[in-house]
Chains A and B, each alone.
Chain A
Amino acid sequence: MNLTIEHQAGVCIIHVEGDLDASSSITLDNAMQEAIQRQEKAIIVNCEKLNYISSAGLGVFMSHLSDLEEKNIFFALCSMNEKVKNVFDILGLGELIKHYPNQEVALQAAQ
């Protein structure tokens, strides 16, 4: 799995590429933690190139939700492919995590 971090319109965008599983989720966890510590005003995880996600990857998002809320940091996922979205939906995570079809819409929501 590869992560690329960019900033656009004051928003931290984490691009995730490859497989996010029990072996690689620690890398994303560190990136999320650092972004929260930097007090970013918004964090968007772009999943366009994310091929696979397991509960370990989704668990990273879950574990930071309270801190994100506490610090009033906007958080969302975007551009999930069908397979990734299917796993997200099976757990009903849409109830807790904002998600958008593409980065443009997610950026608009973050403003």
Chain B
Amino acid sequence: MKYNISIKAEKKNLKKVRTFLENIFNQMQIPAIESNQLILVVDEILANLIIHSAKNDVQKDIDICLTENEGEITFEIYDYNSPFFDLTQHKNANLHELKKQKRKGGMGLTLVKNIMDEVEVYYEDNTNIWRLQKKIPYLLFKDKNK
């Protein structure tokens, strides 16, 4: 199954995407904790793109594609007309450092990497394509018992 949603790069649209995903995961009967984690990772990437990549340019489009295949959830998030984002340079958050620096940011990507099985960024045609994958045991179990 494949699902798509497009938004303008505005923080107020974060809720719209969360509701869209929540409805799909409810239909799939994914347990609440896993569903919340999946919604969270997309929310984190989108918030980062809206603030840092689009710099709150509300004309900028962001596309989100969700695929479910054999118990695996894959998100692809398209960040158009952006310089390459090198994920290999990202270091996981050091909580004590963040506290010392009184920083509000710096934990989002760590959450994403801790939750998902695979997190990759591809760069094609001036576009960063974020691909996030996670196996959901419940979906595999459900498929086997069909």
Q: Which chain A residues have a beta carbon within 8 Å of chain B's beta carbons?
A: 19, 21-23, 25, 29, 52, 54-56, 58-60, 62-67, 82-83, 86-87, 90-93, 95-96
Contact = CB atoms under 8 A, between A and B. Distances in A.
Contacts of B33: 82-83, 86
A22 B50 contact: yes
Contacts of B115: 90
Given A22-B11, A22-B14, A63 B103 contact: yes
A12 B115 CA distance: 34
Contact of B102 (A54, A55, A67): A67
A54 B108 contact: yes
B102 A87 contact: no
24 contacts: A21-B14, A21-B18, A21-B47, A22-B11, A22-B43, A22-B51, A23-B11, A23-B14, A52-B18, A54-B43, A56-B47, A56-B104, A59-B98, A59-B105, A62-B103, A62-B104, A63-B102, A63-B104, A64-B102, A66-B99, A82-B32, A90-B115, A91-B93, A91-B111
Interface of B: 11-12, 14-15, 18, 32-33, 36-37, 39-40, 43-44, 47, 50-51, 93, 95-96, 98-100, 102-108, 110-111, 114-115
A91 B33 CA distance: 15
A53 to B, nearest CB: 9
Nearest to B114: A90
Contacts of A23: 11-12, 14-15
B111 A52 contact: no
